[in-house]
Every structure is written in C-alpha cells, then in structure tokens.
Chain A
C-alpha cells in the first residue's frame, strides 16, 4: 500500500494562496475560489498542528474542510495562547457557502462577489499565520 504523504500545512497554505491569486488575476474564478478555501483550511491546520496536536496527525474531528473547520477552530480555542489567534476570526463563517464538492460544478456558479469574499477571508487567515510566525510557532 502506498505510504501516506507527509503534511506540510504551512507550505500547502502558501502555494494554494499563490495559485489562487494567479487564477483570480486571470479571472479564472472557479478554481481560484476552490484554492482560496483550501488555502484558509491549511493555514488553520498549520496552527492546530503546532499548538494542539504537535507531531501527530490531526484527530478525525479536525480532518474537515474550511466550511466546517472555521467554526471548529473557534470552538476549540480556549487558552489565552490559542485564543489570541481565534479572536481574529469573525464569528460568521465566510466560507459557509464554500464546499469541496463544488470542484465538480459548472464554472458559471462562481459569482465574483462570492469569490471576493472568500479571497478576503483567506487573506485574513493568512495574516493569522503570520502572527503565529512572529510568535515563533511556525
């Protein structure tokens, strides 16, 4: 059986973001949207992997996508240390209308303002990762 590849959430966040931006500039909205969601997911998982579950695979309840992970991340934050990151995330999940299965959908369903919303949210999560970096977490 093939070996499970090793996760690098931080790098995955960065490459998804960079490619999403590339596609967004080229008005390839459908795939840009897909990658903004994955980019935000990887950023939150990068923080979780270094705070709560260092060294081990993320537990099953966190192996979810950004439309669910956003709320789980906020709910999990409890100590002052992790809550300094969670507190920057708005309560209303901007990815609630994002789904991984949208990759099978027609390109016409991806409206400009929805994608822009996801872009802004992914940028916000990216800034969170930057704070974690300055703290020495990553």
Chain B
C-alpha cells in the first residue's frame, strides 16, 4: 500500500487536528500550552519543560501517536516526538513562534530554517533618514533609480550616502563611480576584516565621491560592494562567501554577535564617518537574507519596486502573508512605499490604474486594517482608500525610457532623459523624506 503524501503546508493544520483530539486529556492534566518545532528537515516534534508534571505523560504519549499518524514522514518516531527542554530554552524558542489556539490549548509553532529567518524579524526602530530599495524580482531598474536619486539629492544640496548592499550582483557603485574613483575597499572587505578586528581600518577607506558631482551644492559618498579593482585585489567571491558570518564571543565581548548586528554596526560606522542627511541602501532583490536585512533590520523606510504583472504580485503576496503569520505586518507596514517602475510608454494611465488597483488589493488583503461597514472611526486604523496618494500602495512613478539603458554612469544620462523618466519619482521621494521629518 502506498503511504499518504503529506505536504509541508498541511503540517501545522495537521498538528492542530492532533491537538484538538488530545485537548481534553491535555487540559485535564493541566497542560494549556504546547510548543511545536518544525526542524531543518521539516519534521515536527513537541517541546515541553524538563520537569513537566507526571500527569502529562499519558496525554503526551497519545499526542505523539496522533502526530505520527497524521504527519507521516514529517513525524518523529513517537518515542522521540517529545523534546524536553529547560525553561529558559523553551522561552527562547517561544520568542520566534507563531501562535494558534486549539480548543483552549495555546500552540506555539516554531520553524528552524537554514536561511530566511530574517523575514520574520520585528523591524528595527525607525532611522528616519535611512531608505532601502528592494525589488521582489530583478531587472526592474532599481539600482539605476537609486543612482539617479542619489545624484539628484546631492545636486539639490543634500549630503548623501549611497550603500551598495546588492553584494551578489553589485551595480549601484558602477553607475555612480568611474573605475578609477572607487575607494580601496568595499563592503565585503569590511566584513572579512572586521572579523579579525580590522574593520575600523577599512572603514577609513571605503567611501568615495564621484568626481562629476564636484560642482553639486551637496555631496555624494558611495560605499561600493568592492574596492577599486587592481592587481592583487581580485578575491571578491572568496570574501563574499564570508559575509554572512556571526561573530563568536571573545574575552571582551562575551555575547556572540549575529551578522545582522554587524551589518547595523557597519551602517552606523559609515554614517558616523560621512555624517549624511540621507542614506540610500540598494538592497539585493528577491527573498534573500541580504534583502531581508535591508528591509527588516536597519530601520529604513522601504521603497518596494514592482511591475504590474502576476509573478510580481504573487511574490509580494507570499512575503506579506509571511509577515501576517509572524505578527510583524503591523510594524513593517508603516515603513513601506511601493514604486511602479518601468511604466510603459504607451497606455500609461491604463497601466497605472491597473497597478494601483492591484497594489491596493494586496495591501488591503494583508496589511491594512479592516474597517467594519458601520464604523466611521477611522482615526486609529491603518487603512487607505484606493486614491490616497500618501498611502503605501500609491506608487512613486518611474517611466520606461529608451535612453536610460544607454548611460554607462549617471553622469552620461542626459538631463532631458532623466526628467522624462524620473521626475515624478524624484519629487515623490522628496515628499516621502519630508514626511519622515
């Protein structure tokens, strides 16, 4: 007989079913809360306190048998299905859990993952002058837009720090810096040298101003992914492979430092050195840990690039749904602004109308508060109408322009082209900045 196929997405509901059937006996034994761990191999077991009461044994045994029954290959053998943990370890697990209620039993569901856990981080406290630029899919002109924005803001008199955090596919730096203008070091150098205590030395020489910005009223400093390519400086991939390293404890620092904390320290270090009015962080695209860091962990306002097509909206839907499951939606939604990029030359109004409609649907379904029909009290609710321009779903607009891809650097971009493609985006961004202050 073929055994039943048990898909990943059915695991939590199946656990709930198993608990439902055990609920009465668990409650009778005084067990009102259970932690479930879905491990790296997506096998599920229950975690309980080391000194759990004797009375729990029988209901837990029954639950383990039910889990085996329902979860099939995703289950542990019943005798290994209950993991006993010290209270403090259990408490630590609970902090990353999502909650469900099943017949009066609180379920805390914990996922252990190799990558991607950063998408469920509680967003950092706001740093009002930091902005991250993220696209769920690549090739939408994100880096070009950031480069244009950086030079525009510097021209207008601001002191700008542009950080190329798209380490796996750097692009922002070469749009702003000529080859010989790069500083000696880049972000990957900081990560490897910081790991041996030489981060400060690298920080001194990892930003550079593009020469063509010399006549601007403000200043632009670029922190590139790598330094100036030269003989004896070519080991990029070797350094990139070490970026995501957590730092172990040292005699001076008894607590380990996760790499996200290191990234924050880097951004703060750069800010301290450059003293910018505004920081623009070009993020990696897609659901990558590095993008999660730029979106969730540096306290930035996030400009989310999108095209009006199904794959884009599907991907954002998966991300938003994750935020809702992990209870971070209500925090992160305050930081978001969508960007409609590469708006086609023809039929713009129709395109934008469709874009707004679909963006609104998505935000309403996942991130905006629901307003009951009879309620008029909208003051405290995070909710927006389709046509509210300051709403997160109302896009900043960037127009597709045949002249944009021709420019090797932003210095080559004719002013006329820049205006035609980017004027509404630049103006919209300035308004966004003003709102932050």
Partner of A87, one of B37, B93, B114, B247: B247
Determine if B39 is an interface residue (Cβ-Cβ < 8 Å).
Answer: yes
Q: A70-89 vs B: 1/0 string, CB under 8 Å?
A: 00000000001101101111
A133 and B247 alpha carbons, distance in the complex (Å): 22
Determine if A130 is an interface residue (Cβ-Cβ < 8 Å).
Answer: yes
A84 and B83 alpha carbons, distance in the complex (Å): 21
Partner of B83, one of A86, A89, A133: A133
A83 cross-chain contacts in B, Cβ below 8 A = 245-246
CB-CB under 8 A for A88 and B248, given A134-B93, A135-B39: yes
Q: Please determine whether A81 and B248 come into contact, CB atoms closer than 8 angstroms.
A: no
B83 cross-chain contacts in A, Cβ below 8 A = 133-134
Given contact pairs A84-B246, A134-B112, a sample of 16 additional A-B residue pairs in the complex whose CB atoms are under 8 Å apart:
A80-B115, A80-B244, A81-B40, A87-B246, A87-B247, A87-B256, A88-B248, A88-B249, A90-B250, A130-B85, A133-B83, A134-B83, A134-B85, A134-B93, A135-B112, A136-B37
Q: Please determine whether B93 and A90 come into contact, CB atoms closer than 8 angstroms.
A: no
B112 cross-chain contacts in A, Cβ below 8 A = 134-136
Determine if A61 is an interface residue (Cβ-Cβ < 8 Å).
Answer: no
> Would you call the interface of chain B mostly helix, strand, loop, or mixed?
loop
- Name the CB-closest residue of A to B112: A135
A130 cross-chain contacts in B, Cβ below 8 A = 85, 89
A95 and B248 alpha carbons, distance in the complex (Å): 16
B244 cross-chain contacts in A, Cβ below 8 A = 80
B248 cross-chain contacts in A, Cβ below 8 A = 86-91
A89 cross-chain contacts in B, Cβ below 8 A = 248
A88 and B251 alpha carbons, distance in the complex (Å): 13
A91 and B195 alpha carbons, distance in the complex (Å): 11
Query: Interface centre among A89, A130, A136, by most B CB within 10 Å?
Result: A136
Q: How many A-B residue pairs have CB under 8 A?
A: 51
CB-CB under 8 A for A81 and B114, given A130-B89, A134-B37, A137-B40: yes
CB-CB under 8 A for A87 and B39, given A81-B114, A134-B93, A135-B112: no
Determine if A92 is an interface residue (Cβ-Cβ < 8 Å).
Answer: yes
Determine if B5 is an interface residue (Cβ-Cβ < 8 Å).
Answer: no
B93 cross-chain contacts in A, Cβ below 8 A = 134
Q: How far is the CB of A93 from chain B (nearest CB, A)?
A: 11
CB-CB under 8 A for A92 and B114, given A134-B39, A136-B39: no
B47 cross-chain contacts in A, Cβ below 8 A = 134
Q: Please determine whether B43 and A136 come into contact, CB atoms closer than 8 angstroms.
A: yes
Within 8 A of A (CB), among B245-299: 245-251, 256
A106 and B47 alpha carbons, distance in the complex (Å): 44
Q: How far is the CB of B40 from chain A (nearest CB, A)?
A: 5
Q: How far is the CB of A113 from chain B (nearest CB, A)?
A: 14
**Considering the complex of A and B, which 9 residue pairs feature the smallest CB-CB distances, nearest first?**
A136-B39, A87-B246, A135-B40, A135-B112, A90-B249, A90-B248, A136-B40, A136-B41, A135-B39
A137 and B47 alpha carbons, distance in the complex (Å): 15
Q: How far is the CB of B146 from chain A (nearest CB, A)?
A: 28
Q: How far is the CB of B258 from chain A (nearest CB, A)?
A: 9
Q: Please determine whether B114 and A88 come into contact, CB atoms closer than 8 angstroms.
A: no
A92 cross-chain contacts in B, Cβ below 8 A = 250-251
Q: B211-247 vs A: 1/0 string, CB under 8 Å?
A: 0000000000000000000000000000000001111
- A-B pairs with beta carbons under 8 Å apart, 23 shown: A80-B114, A80-B115, A81-B40, A81-B114, A83-B246, A86-B248, A87-B245, A87-B247, A87-B256, A88-B249, A130-B89, A134-B37, A134-B39, A134-B83, A134-B89, A134-B93, A135-B39, A135-B40, A135-B112, A136-B40, A136-B41, A136-B112, A137-B39
